[in-house]
Structure 1
Amino acid sequence: MLGKEGKTLLYSVGATRDAVLAAERSEYEQGVRIDESVMLAGGLYRSGRIDGRPATQRFLGDWFSTGPLLARVPDRWKIVDVSTTATRDASASEVPSVAPTAVDLPWILPAPTKLVPHPRDTRTALVLPAQDTEPGMLQPLTSTLAVLSDKRSPGLVRCIDARCRHQTIGDLQWRAESDEVLFTTTDYERARAQSIYRWNVVTGTVQAIVLSDGLVSGSQRHWDVPCAVSASTLVCIAAEADRPPRLEAIDIDSGARRILFEPNKGLEADMAATAPARMIRWQDAQGREFTGQFFEAKSSGHPPPLFVTFYTCQGFLRGGLGDEWPLASLAEQGISALCINALPGFRLDYVDRHDQGRAAVESVVALLAADGTVDPGRVGMGGLSFGSEVTLWTLMHSDVVKAASVGSISPTPSYYLLNSLREAFRTNLRLMWQLGAPDETPGRWREISPAFQLDRIRAPILFQLPEQEYRMLLDYALPMLRRNQGDLYVFPEEAHIKFQPRHKLAAYERNLDWFRYWLQAYEDADPAKAGQYRIWRQMHPQGSGSMDRGRIHEEN
């Protein structure tokens, strides 16, 4: 961060690299003591990567966030003189104050979901959750913008404009040298398109800066990174479903947008010519409205197959959340592809939360098949994280999907066992999955875990898992491998979302081959892939849900 006088830079450092390496080596030689911080599902010694190097990791938060072995060593602050580059330790008076949290505010306030102090005075901008939480939801769906004049005072100035009340408000920051708060909203009715507004806390006026058709934020990958801001300009990453990320400068007063860097202009042109995306909207049998981004395959004389992925479809859609299913490439090769947005909010009931995916897929297949846009008998599905769970749930409760691919796990007894030392994990699992230990809630386990529903899963499944998770799905993956219904690949040193370029490419290519094989009866002639197809030819769907892979050839 820049020093107040503008002549120094302040930064913090944790444990030194040498200290971390020594601690890792000591554990290797003396043995790793198992406690609640140890990732039992992953390797114990340097099984992940941090900043490009193999590293031992530990759980840090109350769910699955991780960090290096010595992440809890207190930070030390350094100061760099900008003119000379000389570096020294910061004195106690020079260490930045700790950012305020909700507990520092007057107790009569509803706990804000986000708060940003003004850099020059005592005001604090707040995002306050709505007071009317919908029954069965983890938290309110919408929020309101407000400013606290002093953190010791309960007095609030609330924004009364409709654009900052009952909205989904994300990024929040003060405009430099002004009384304006800049805030970002996400519009679920427009497939999670983002917009940025400015609110003058003195006059009360709200003005739009940019209304986008996709993402306008500080990062394509990380949802909590805001645009960079000066007194006159926002610098943002902008992206749409079929337009790759680019760096834009946006004038705060006029909203004028100027591209600063657009490295993938050629890809944008290719996608526009071969597989442009369009937003579609539909309702399920309960009248719930879903949105999605649809990459339609060009007509070849008969309705094409359809691939769907379910979770969140923000920004440039290289392959849904986690970027593993190349939607545009599928469409280019004759398989229409659809990324479906989950309904907003987190539903506490596991069945309700996951069955929305089945309902969304069944209803959109019926809609697109009604006019011959897709072939309802050739539907594939894939997903990561919540999307993986929804894919398995759909396979367990519907015959609409004929082939599937997942990149994450669903709940299993092994998942519980390997994380059960952590009290926060057990609490969250009971709250959001309604699961205790398998012997405590056996009925719930039988209802939701694929390990107890194998007889209901009929489609073949491709598993492409990170090393840190794959052990937790062996309860159902290994039985499927034994009966030639699954194919399992594990990527070393990968966590929940794969990040190594070679691994991403391998997942892309294998998913493309997998769905072309099952939905089009197509095999790539590349000799290097002969072994892959030899394995897949031995596989077969189970029971009445099986499909005829050769049907497309018969039609041709």
Structure 2
Amino acid sequence: MLFHVPYGVAATVRQLVEVIDIKNVSISPDGRLVAFRTEQASIEQNTYGTVWYVQAVDGASPPRRLADGGEMLPDGGGSSKPQLPTWSPDGKWIFFRAVHEGRIEVWRAAVDGSRTEQLTHGSANVRAFSLNPDGSVLYYSVGATRQAVVDAELAEYDRGVHIDRTVMLGEALFRSGFQDGRLATQRLSSGVRLPLLSDVPDHWKALNLSTGVTTELASGQHPASTVKMADLPDIDGAISLIAEDRRTGRIAMLTGQPSVVGQPQVVLAMLPSRKSHRLVKCTAEPCTGKQITHIVWRPGSDEVLFTVSERDSELQESIFRWNAVTGDVHPVVRSRGQITGGGRWGPEPCAASASALVCVAAEADVPPRLERIDLESGSRTVLFAPNQTLAQDMKEFVRVRFVAWADAQGRRYTGQFYPSAARGGRPPPLFVVYYRCTGFLRGSVGDEWPLATFARSGIAALCINAAPLADDAVARYQQGLSSVEGAVKLLARQGAIDSTRVGMGGLSFGSEVTVWTAMHSDLLRAISVSSPVVTPMGSLMMSLGGEEEHTRMGRYWQLGTLEETPDHWRQLSPTYHVERMRAPVLMQMPEQEFRYSLDFIVPLIRRHRADVYVFPHEQHQKSQPRHKLAVYQRNLDWFRFWLLGEEDADPEKVGQYATWRQMRQNLPAVQPH
């Protein structure tokens, strides 16, 4: 048996891994149909199945299955790349890229469900595609052939890898991660991991859909494209998002000057054309000083639909209509949770017709479903709810409540709390995860700590939304520590948790705050992290990045080289304070990142303070389904052991518990800082 999960918890753990996500929502040209793709993990196959569907926007009929969407394309950070379909002008077909057996080609599916067909059959993967205005010609671009990429990898393998700023020194040099449907050798370009030969220029081809004849476009020739940020004139403030009204050529945009790590104060504005310098700004109250996250034109109108995330509430989202001609703003809808995605991979923008939006909605305790939102009345109708069994299970067994509190400095924090039952008259222990709590939480940011399962297993769980982040690293970490202290005091005062049994975990910034809290307080009984923290070894390995990397270290952590800022290095990096890590640490790290913190990890292992697992071929956020299940289960076992004193009877875990018992025997006595 590969995995063992206790009876009564197994369904929930597995369901959390195998939640069906809804992505790539797109409405037909006439506004009658909506196309979307589902993604679902398969633990047995260790992959994600994707399926394209189409459904009437008015909900008069159930979804119609159109086509297998191929393998999920990771985006480099553990998420899936956006793969919006292209509609034929007559609305009878959707066109999409799909990965099958390591080949990326263009396919199309008839929306009546009658047929699906592969259109391109080349030796190179398709990078991008578009249709001509009447839909008779498919333009598509390719780069280097698949064989040329393989040959380049093998040639480099044979002659040795030349070390320069494109090589990630902390990662495997040969076929280290998944790219374009296969394990590929990767190199760094502008902060993004790309396969070899990615710098080969696009070569465009034209496929006549009536005759099936493919012709080569001349070098440098390409079809007209949608507007890009680089096409626009210089304006005040960085442009973060654009949306073009294809009917009139007007361009809606979000601009602003973000802080180093905090939320920008964005401005919603409109340019009358690509070359115009006359910026029309939305000055109404819903547009001002808000966290605007998405924009889309309402077809056939002067209105821009924009989404606002409300940080001081349950991370509610509201959608408004801004008339870019009159300046009027009208509310459309306000949600209890998220209406721009289910929360696992990040936001999923709504699609708009003239009369309605189609959105992926989810709450902390309700998994993703597809909804229609009327643009005039704001009424909501569920179109497709593929996770009904889990939704019912959550409703029956798991209660989630929104909590808010202030720290000693008066800063306000919010979170989602999963209560658990007292045992023997004693309140339950608490697990805390810190960063962001949007959509259906599953395992919070990083998707590693099954919060609902914790609650069902006797451990209350709290996901904390980080306050607007300070630019100074120490201030950010202290905010996190203060937030956790305030939450524990609040919940203990309510009798909801036992403040002497608290665990914590996190990904990325959440990992940094977790380690800082363990170093600077006696609050935590055990911790679990999945990302490296800032260390001298990590800085050394990334230093070939030159001035760009030096600037990044200074900007985010106020760190120079070890010689330039020695005192600040000693203040920030836990490498210098291993003895202060009294709480035992479980590290479940991606292969892409673990080496960057070896100068912190190895001393902890030698002191029996850390148990470390590394997952091959994983990036910042783990994506392989079996890895996700293993991470879920080990985190559950870890906190049951340290917070409840319980062990799973599965004989395959004997070695795991022997290691943890030895760690417990070697724990230092708690001393005040």
What TM-score does the superposition give when structure 1 sets the normalisation length?
0.91
Determine if the alignment matches structure 1 residue 58 to structure 2 residue 192.
no
State the shift of 1:223 in Å: 3.6
Change (3 A) 1:77 1:255: farther
2:468 matches 1:468: no
2:366/2:391 contact within 8 Å kept = yes
2:318 corresponds to which residue?
195
Using the alignment, how far apart are the partners of 2:238 and 2:174 within structure 1?
A: 40
**For 2:339, what is the secondary structure of its paired residue?**
strand
* Partner Cα distance (1:282, 1:2) in 2: 53
Contact kept in structure 2, 1:174 and 1:180, CA below 8 Å: yes
Q: Secondary structure at the match of 1:217?
A: coil
Find the partner of 1:104 among 224, 232, 236: 232
Taking the aligned partners of 1:80 and 1:298, their CA distance within structure 2 comes to: 63
State the shift of 1:515 in Å.
0.1
Query: Structure 1 counterpart of 2:254, which letter?
Result: V
Which stretch shifts more, 519-528 or 435-444?
435-444
* Bigger relative contact order, structure 1 or 2 (CA pairs below 8 A, ≥6 apart): 2
Equivalent position of 1:536 in the other structure: 660
Label 1:384 to 1:224 Cα distance change in 2 as closer, same or farther (>3 A).
same
Match in the other structure for 1:28: 157
Report Cα offsets for 1:488-543 as digits up to 9, x if no partner: 00000001100000000000000000000000000001111111101111002643
SS at structure 1 position matched to 2:532: coil
Q: CA deviation at 1:104?
A: 3.0
Higher mean Cα deviation, 281-290 or 472-481? 472-481
Deviation at 1:14, TM superposition (A): 3.2
Distance (whole Å) between structure 1 residues aligned to residue 338 and residue 475 of structure 2: 28
Contact 2:343 2:441 in 1 (8 A): no
Q: Which residue pairs with 2:467 in the alignment?
A: 343
- Structure with greater proportional strand content: 2
Q: How does 1:330-369 map to 2 (within 5 A)?
A: 330-344=454-468, 346-369=469-492
Aligned-partner Cα distance in 2 for 1:13–1:443:
51
Gap change, CA 1:139 and 1:326, over 3 Å in 2: closer
1:147 aligns with 2:276: no
Distance 1:226 1:315 in 2: 13
Deviation, 1:138, is: 5.3
For residue 268 of structure 2, what is the amino acid of its counterpart?
L
Letter aligned with residue 228 of structure 2: P
Q: Give the partner amino acid of 2:242.
A: L
Measured at CA, do residues 139 and 487 of structure 1 come closer, stay the same or move farther in structure 2, by a change above 3 Å? closer
What amino acid does structure 2 have at the position aligned with 1:487?
A: D
Contact 1:236/1:247, CA 8 A, preserved across alignment: yes
Measured at CA, do residues 38 and 333 of structure 1 come closer, stay the same or move farther in structure 2, by a change above 3 Å? same
Structure 1 residue 246, shift from structure 2 partner: 1.6
Residue range with higher mean Cα deviation, 121-130 or 329-338: 121-130
Aligned to 1:305: 429
**Letter matched to residue 223 of structure 2:** V
* Alignment of structure 1 residues 35-434 onto 2, 5 Å: 35-62=164-191, 65-81=192-208, 87-90=214-217, 95-97=223-225, 99-101=227-229, 104-107=232-235, 109-129=236-256, 141-217=264-340, 220-223=343-346, 225-300=348-423, 301-344=425-468, 346-423=469-546, 424-434=548-558
Q: Which shows bigger deviation, 187-196 or 290-299?
A: 187-196
Q: Cα–Cα, structure 1 residues 284 and 82, in superposed 2: closer, same or farther, change >3 Å?
A: farther
Normalising to structure 2: TM-score of the pair?
0.76
Q: Deviations over 1:395-442 (max 9, x none)?
A: 111111110000001011110111101131221111111112223221
1:313/1:339 contact within 8 Å kept: yes
**470-479 vs 509-518, which moves further:** 470-479
One-letter identity of the residue aligned with 2:291: T
Summarize the Cα distance change of 1:467–1:281 in structure 2 as closer, same or farther, 3 Å threshold: same
Give yes or no for the alignment of 1:516 onto 2:640: yes
RMSD, matched Cα: 2.3
Whole-angstrom distance in 2 between the partners of 1:122 and 1:163 = 25
Shift in Å at residue 545 of structure 1? 2.8
Q: Deviations over 1:307-335 (max 9, x none)?
A: 00000111111111110000000000010
Cα distance change, pair 106–171 in 1 and its aligned pair in 2 (3 A): same
**Contact 2:341–2:368, Cα closer than 8 Å, also in 1:** no
For 2:345 and 2:499, the matched residues in 1 are separated by 35
- In the aligned structure 2, how far is the partner of 1:262 from the partner of 1:155? 44
Amino acid at match of 1:115: I
Using the alignment, how far apart are the partners of 2:363 and 2:348 within structure 1?
17
Letter in 2 for 1:104: L
Call closer, same or farther: CA 1:387–1:84 in 2, change over 3 Å. Answer: farther
State how far apart, in whole Å, the 1-side matches of 2:343 and 2:189 are. Answer: 24
Equivalent AA in structure 2 for residue 322 of structure 1: G
Spell out, residue by residue over 1:436-479, the C-alpha distance to the aligned partner (whole angstroms, 9 max, x if none): 22232211111111110112110000010001111111111111
Structure 2 CA distance, aligned partners of 1:156 and 1:408? 42
Whole-Å separation in 2 of the counterparts to 1:389 and 1:322: 14
- What corresponds to 2:146 in structure 1? 17
Decide whether the 8 Å contact of 2:344 with 2:447 is kept in 1.
no
Distance (Å, rounded) in 1 between the aligned partners of 2:432 and 2:509: 14
- The alpha-carbon deviation at position 275 of structure 1 amounts to 1.5
- How far apart, CA to CA, are the structure 1 residues paired with 2:429 and 2:422? 11
- Displacement of 1:362 in angstroms is 0.7
Number of residue pairs matched? Answer: 539
CA distance in structure 2 between the partners assigned to 1:285 and 1:171 by the alignment: 34
More helix by share: 1
* Percent of matched pairs sharing the same residue: 49
1:86 deviates by 5.4
Q: Which moved more, 1:373-382 or 1:184-193?
A: 184-193
From 577, 582, 588, the counterpart of 1:453: 577
Give the partner amino acid of 2:422: S
**Paired position in structure 1 for 2:53:** none
Per-residue deviation, residues 365-396 of structure 1 (Å, max 9, x unmatched): 01111121100000000001000011001111
Residues 228 and 67 of structure 1: is their aligned pair in 2 closer, same or farther, counting only changes over 3 Å? farther
Q: Secondary structure of 2:598's match?
A: helix
CA distance in 2, matches of 1:4, 1:254: 34
Structure 2 gap ranges (5+): 1-129
Q: Is the 8 A contact 1:106 1:152 kept in 2?
A: no
Give 1:84 shift: 6.0
2:617 aligned with 1:488: no
The answer to whether the Cα contact below 8 Å between 2:342 and 2:367 also exists between their aligned partners in 1 is no
